[in-house]
Amino acid sequence: MTTAGFLTTAATSSRNLEQIKSYCAEDVDGYKAYLEASEKRYKVGFEGLVDKPFDSLMALFRFLPELIKLRSDRSVYRLVSRYIRDPQLRMTMSFHPLLIGGNPFSVTSVYTLISYLEQRWGVWSAMGGTGSIVKGMAGLIEGQGGKIECNAEVEEILVENGNAKGVRLRDGRVLHSDLVVSNADAAWTYRHLIDARHRKRWTDRKIERSHYSNGLFVWYFGTKGQYEDVPHHSVILGPRYRGLLDDIFKRKVLADDFSLYLHRPTETDPSMAPEGCDAFYALAPVPHLDADVDWTEYAETFRQRICQRLEDTMLPGLSDRIVTSRLLTPQDFQDRLCSFKGAGFSFEPRITQSAWFRPHNRSEDVKGLYLVGAGTHPGAGMPAVISSAKVIDQLIPAAVAQHA
């Protein structure tokens, strides 16, 4: 697998400063101070926490003084607003938690670490798409003698006397093992794969009452001809910010307006589309399935509204140039990917659902069960999800050695 990186560190920083200077010069110093604040949170939140097990209260207490010192109870938007005055700039500096399913107005300001992380390490893209990461991982597993079975849905994690004993698949087969690692959504794993009598902490009530991330409406499409001026990553903001986020996260209603992230990987990797064509996806954050939306009915209407917005803004003439099109709605996230409430990123990463408060990587309820992926510590997004695998890479050998 090869990767492509974008404008890193110094280049990004000076380009950002130039743009801020020309747009709102009085925020330049504030932006510099904000990046310093972001770096502090990166040191604690990323370097300190991200790939370490967080399954004991001791681990929590060790970090608590630093988290308090950094005023982690404050939201991302509140921290950004301490440094930046312009409302539009506040928006562009604070929307990043949406990339991992959090509301910038309620998730802990520790997540401002993303600003520094992106500047420090750059933004990377796998050539060949995320599928090439999956192929790389599959090759690693098979190269070590592991076997992968696709289209084999786990219907139940078998538990005896509090110990994991294997899994039962939808086709009825039973696979026996004293060690089970679930990469399915953590909320789904507990709610639907483990009988309630085996769960003391992650009861049905606790799972139902938890807060979940936003849903995602994703429209993948290909065009004949290319939109050469459109960059790999664009954000097309709607007229409202806080109001729209309240609709999505609090009121759980699908609003008339929306904001979009537009992805054009062909800018970096032309192999993502046939020669002379473009590949895109447009993503709109929407409420999860607690909202009263029948996506089987409404998906095509919503797609057309997005198409119209794109035609009016970045992709003129789009509707005449579409050659392939595919939709993913919160209903698909639930029905096809087993994501609880069809949320895009599992549990919302608010402070009371982060670190020790998130489902632990070593199950609190079932011995021999381990969890990885977006719903566990540290959270959603590829870097975090891969870090969760690094955590169990520490936990499982230690547990096996203790047993031996």
Ligand X SMILES: Cc1cc2nc3c(=O)[nH]c(=O)nc-3n(C[C@H](O)[C@H](O)[C@H](O)COP(=O)(O)OP(=O)(O)OC[C@H]3O[C@@H](n4cnc5c(N)ncnc54)[C@H](O)[C@@H]3O)c2cc1C
In angstroms, give the least distance from the CB of 109 to ligand X: 20
Q: Half-sphere exposure of residue 146, counting CA atoms within 13 Å on the CB side? A: 10
In angstroms, give the least distance from the CB of 368 to ligand X: 18
Residue 14 or 325: the one with the smaller Cβ distance to ligand X is: 325
Q: Which residue is nearest to ligand X (CB)?
A: 373
In angstroms, give the least distance from the CB of 367 to ligand X: 20
Residue 218 or 253: the one with the smaller Cβ distance to ligand X is: 218
Residue 153 or 312: the one with the smaller Cβ distance to ligand X is: 153
In angstroms, give the least distance from the CB of 386 to ligand X: 9
Residue 148 or 401: the one with the smaller Cβ distance to ligand X is: 148
In angstroms, give the least distance from the CB of 373 to ligand X: 3
Residue 22 or 151: the one with the smaller Cβ distance to ligand X is: 151
Residue 342 or 368: the one with the smaller Cβ distance to ligand X is: 342
Name the site residues for ligand X (rule: CB under 6 A).
153-154, 183-184, 216, 218, 283, 337-338, 344-345, 373-374, 380-383, 385
Residue 20 or 158: the one with the smaller Cβ distance to ligand X is: 158
Residue 270 or 381: the one with the smaller Cβ distance to ligand X is: 381
In angstroms, give the least distance from the CB of 275 to ligand X: 25
Q: Are 48 and 40 in contact (CB under 8 A)?
A: no
Q: Are 119 and 37 in contact (CB under 8 A)?
A: no
In angstroms, give the least distance from the CB of 281 to ligand X: 6
In angstroms, give the least distance from the CB of 337 to ligand X: 5
In angstroms, give the least distance from the CB of 152 to ligand X: 6
Q: Of 310, 294, 288, which is closest to residue 221 (Cα–Cα)?
A: 310
CA distances from 161 to 156, 164, 165, 199 (A): 16, 9, 10, 12
Residue 244 or 385: the one with the smaller Cβ distance to ligand X is: 385
